[in-house]
Amino acid sequence: MNALASEIVRDTGAVSAADLARGGHFSGTIGDITTPDPRMVCREVNVWYGDKHAIKDVSLDIGNHQVVAMIGPSGCGKSTFLRCLNRMNDTIDGCRVRGSITLDGQEIYDKGLDPVPLRAQVGMVFQKPNPFPKSIYENVAYGARIHGLTNSKAELDALVETSLRKAGLWNEVKDRLDQPGTGLSGGQQQRLCIARTIAVSPEVILMDEPCSALDPIATAIIEELIDELREQYSIAIVTHSMQQAARVSQRTAYFHLGDLVEVGETTQVFTNPRHKLTEDYITGRFG
């Protein structure tokens, strides 16, 4: 694996935005795509929507107890890549995925592997809060009920409480667990969705622009929460806000037109980007 990885990591540094715009060959990702303690390992992942080549040869590790931020202009493929990690792309017609993605060494695109339990291990929080039209309690208990995680009402109650506590929502909703989840504010709904995801004890949590529909205060609360969750889970987050990426993540990956342009420590990527495209994006020249 290391041999393969070192082969893929080629520090060319010579590809300019103009080259890419002209359709010139993109020679490879800059920076270290590996981490010492990876949870998920993605190698040469390609995605097509019909004829559209949405992700081109992307290789990236998702580190244990680490937040990886994926940034880049709209349509660059960061959300598509995220959805590959729990096979959510399977639900889209005409979407093909090639390459290797492993979770704890297990190939997730293996023919024999059922994507359904995988999604319990790799949970996902979406851009727009999408609580089910059920009570707050039932929203959190949903996954546990499906997977039969608890044996008694008391255990389920305890699971709902711990999940809501971890999501920092317990104190706000403990007196109205039987009220509909759709009646909460946007930020509370998003934390409810996080609690719902935590309740099935995933190993990895994917977040697809989790704060883009929220106001700054709700955003700050979620960002704080992400930082706490890192101690127990591995997190991959797609964001349009570079400040958010800088605040919550340890590693940052910059995507451009389906290519993974640059990966590195968040501080390095934001203070000293090595690729022209990354620099242009971060300094706000486009995107």
> Which residues contact another protein (rule: CB under 8 A)?
86, 88, 91, 93, 116-121, 123-124, 126, 128, 130-134, 142-143, 145-147, 182, 193, 196-197, 200
Dump strand ranges (E) for the chain. Answer: 38-49, 52-63, 67-71, 95-103, 106-107, 122-125, 204-208, 234-238, 251-256, 259-265
Separation of alpha carbons 30 and 38, rounded Å: 19
In the sheet with 251-256, reading across from the earlier edge strand, the strands are 122-125, 204-208, 234-238, 67-71, 251-256, 259-265
Residues 6+ apart with CB under 8 A from 77: 47, 54, 55, 58, 255, 257, 258, 259
Crossing angle between the packed helical segments 186-198 and 136-147, to the nearest 10 degrees = 20
Least separation, in Å, of the C-beta of 234 and another protein?
A: 16
Residue 70 vs 88, nearer CB to another protein: 88
When the beta carbons of 131 and 258 are compared against another protein, the nearer one is: 131
Of residues 56 and 147, the one with the C-beta less far from another protein: 147
Q: What are phi and psi of 244, to 5 degrees?
A: -65, -45
Whole-number minimum distance, CB 206 to another protein, in Å? 8
* Shortest spacing between CB 129 and another protein, in angstroms: 9
Judged by beta carbon, residue 49 or residue 142, the one nearer another protein is 142
Give the whole-angstrom CA distance, residue 146 versus residue 58: 34
Closer by beta carbon to another protein, 135 or else 244: 135
- Residues 1 and 19: their CA atoms lie apart, in Å, by 31
Rounded to a whole number of angstroms, the minimum distance from the CB of residue 215 to another protein is 20
Q: How far apart are CA 47 and CA 96, in angstroms?
A: 6
In 45-133, which residue ranges form alpha helices assigned H by DSSP?
A: 78-84, 115-121
CB of residue 208 vs another protein: minimum separation in angstroms? 10
Of 53 and 128, nearer to another protein (C-beta) is 128
CB of residue 196 vs another protein: minimum separation in angstroms?
7
Nearer to another protein, 139 or 266 (CB): 139
Characterize the bridge pairing of strands 38-49 and 52-63.
Answer: antiparallel
Smallest separation (angstroms) from another protein to the CB of 271: 34
